[in-house]
């Protein structure tokens, strides 16, 4: 399976995927940490992918998503965006609804 197939598989087979720097327990950048805090506040069920553990995926995902920065949050197979967008959606009350639609959380 090539790297693009792996990305597609992760996104298609998991309702919520967070590509981030580090892990939820040890985020390695402030933006990834803030995104994890918001997902946790929403009691979201999600998988994370530490982009530092897979340099090939890190570069391929930028091209795949046409989004140059991390974190990248996918919900229901769609790229939602990075930290600023996640914060905005959370403040507007939209993020919990989006998460509930794909995995029954709120």
The pTM (predicted TM-score) of the whole model is: 0.94
Binding-site residues from annotation: 29
Residue 61 belongs to domain spanning? 3-98
CATH assignment of the domain containing 66: 3.40.30.10
103 found inside a domain: no
Say what the alpha-carbon torsion angle 55, 59, 64, 70 is, to the nearest 10 degrees: 90
20 found inside a domain: yes
Residue 49 to residue 47: CA distance in whole angstroms: 7
Percent of residues in the chain assigned helix, strand, coil, to nearest 5: 50, 20, 30
34 found inside a domain: yes
Binding-site residues from annotation for [2Fe-2S] cluster: 29
91 found inside a domain: yes
Strand partners, 18: 48, 73
**Count of structural domains within the chain:** 1
What pLDDT tens digit does each residue of the chain (106 aa) get? 899 999 999 999 999 999 999 999 999 999 999 999 999 999 999 999 999 999 999 999 999 999 999 999 999 999 999 999 999 999 999 999 999 999 754 4
């Amino acid at each position: 399976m090539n790297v693009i197939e792996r990305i597609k598989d992760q996104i298609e087979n998991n309702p919520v995927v967070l590509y981030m720097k580090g892990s939820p327990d040890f985020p390695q950048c402030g933006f990834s940490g803030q995104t994890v805090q918001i997902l946790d506040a929403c009691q979201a069920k999600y998988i994370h992918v530490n982009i530092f553990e897979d340099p090939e995926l890190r570069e391929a995902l930028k091209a795949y998503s046409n989004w140059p920065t991390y974190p990248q949050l996918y919900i229901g197979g769609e790229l939602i965006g990075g930290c600023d967008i996640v914060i905005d959606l959370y403040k507007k009350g939209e993020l919990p609804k989006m998460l509930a639609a794909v995995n029954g959380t709120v």
